[in-house]
């Protein structure tokens, strides 16, 4: 039994998950302080303050909330699969809404200030991340929450869904780092090399985001922290094995 008595693996997971939450929250707070204290705060009026919502929403939605949505399968290991799936889908939906607000803010700011759209590497990588994130959410909903696909197709799609989840987190953090560098060059190009407080804060935010990504990838890819399969999943994997091996073996 996984959860009977003190379990060193389980308590290690608790520490790792706790650490990831601290890093994620620090990232959101640092982004808020950067945009709030150094870049003039927030508004929704087409001004630079509207742009400031963009980094905050992207770090909160596509990094912190997306990371937490993935973690629920490692944290709630003994709750029913259905409730965990629902929580996973709901946190992802929240992440999607917050990210769409963040993207709307930057497009609206560009429109109001007559700045061209989609010219930078950051905007290309960022939009690709968001499009892939939407596709992953819709497919996840269709395959797992309201399963329209056969058990066989779901079993084939699951590893791809997990792989894309990790890729998306890496792409989101990579896009943030590109966007942050661009923002620093736009706003403090002439003083950045003298390590002003704003530069130090933004660099620290970048390091925190990278650490968050590394810690989450470690937790997600570590076999020991996987949810133990329940009878329904075991039956599905036996069914899948029978189907694939049956198809491979010659007919008698």
For ligand HEM, the binding residues (CB under 6 A) are 54-55, 58-59, 62, 103, 106-107, 110, 117-118, 120, 122-123, 126-127, 129-130, 172, 175-176, 179-180, 182-183, 186
CA distance 36 to 42: 7
Minimum CB separation from ligand HEM for residue 179, in Å? 2
Task: Report the residue number, 13 or 205, with the smaller CB distance to ligand HEM.
Answer: 205
Q: If you search the block for the tokens 């998306």, which residue do you land on?
A: 168
Task: Report the residue number, 98 or 219, with the smaller CB distance to ligand HEM.
Answer: 98
CA distance 78 to 228: 8
Minimum CB separation from ligand HEM for residue 77, in Å? 29
Task: Report the residue number, 12 or 48, with the smaller CB distance to ligand HEM.
Answer: 48
Contacts of 208 (CB under 8 A, 6+ apart): 23, 26, 27, 30
Task: Report the residue number, 55 or 213, with the smaller CB distance to ligand HEM.
Answer: 55
Minimum CB separation from ligand HEM for residue 25, in Å? 16
Torsion of CA 28, 29, 31, 33, to 10 degrees: 170
Minimum CB separation from ligand HEM for residue 157, in Å? 24
Measure the CA angle with vertex 180, ends 177 and 185; round to 5°: 125
CA distance 165 to 100: 18
Question: Residue 213 class from Cβ within 10 Å (0-12 exposed, 13-18 middle, 19+ buried)?
Answer: buried
Minimum CB separation from ligand HEM for residue 135, in Å? 14
Task: Report the residue number, 70 or 155, with the smaller CB distance to ligand HEM.
Answer: 70
Torsion sign, CA atoms 138, 210, 67, 147: positive
């Amino acid at each position: 039994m996984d959860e009977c008595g003190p379990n060193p693996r389980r308590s290690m997971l608790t520490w790792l998950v706790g650490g990831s939450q601290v890093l994620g929250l620090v990232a959101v707070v640092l982004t808020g302080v950067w945009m709030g204290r150094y870049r003039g705060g927030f508004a929704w009026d087409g001004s630079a303050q509207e742009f400031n919502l963009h980094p905050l929403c992207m770090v909160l939605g596509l990094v912190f909330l997306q990371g937490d949505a993935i973690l629920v399968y490692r944290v709630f290991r003994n709750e029913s699969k259905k409730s965990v799936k629902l929580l996973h889908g709901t946190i992802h939906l929240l992440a999607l809404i917050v990210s769409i607000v963040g993207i709307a803010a930057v497009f609206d700011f560009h429109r109001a200030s007559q700045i061209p759209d989609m010219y930078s590497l950051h905007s290309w990588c960022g939009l690709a991340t968001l499009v892939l994130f939407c596709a992953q959410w819709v497919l996840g909903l269709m395959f797992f929450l309201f399963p329209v696909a056969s058990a066989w197709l779901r079993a084939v799609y699951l590893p791809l869904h997990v792989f894309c989840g990790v890729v998306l987190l890496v792409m989101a953090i990579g896009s943030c780092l590109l966007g942050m560098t661009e923002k620093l060059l736009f706003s403090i190009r002439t003083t950045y090399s003298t390590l002003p407080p704003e530069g130090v804060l933004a660099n620290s935010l970048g390091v925190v985001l990278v650490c968050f990504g590394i810690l989450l990838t470690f937790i997600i890819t570590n076999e020991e922290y996987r949810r133990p399969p329940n009878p329904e999943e075991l039956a599905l994997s036996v069914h899948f094995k029978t189907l694939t091996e049956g198809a491979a073996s010659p007919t008698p």
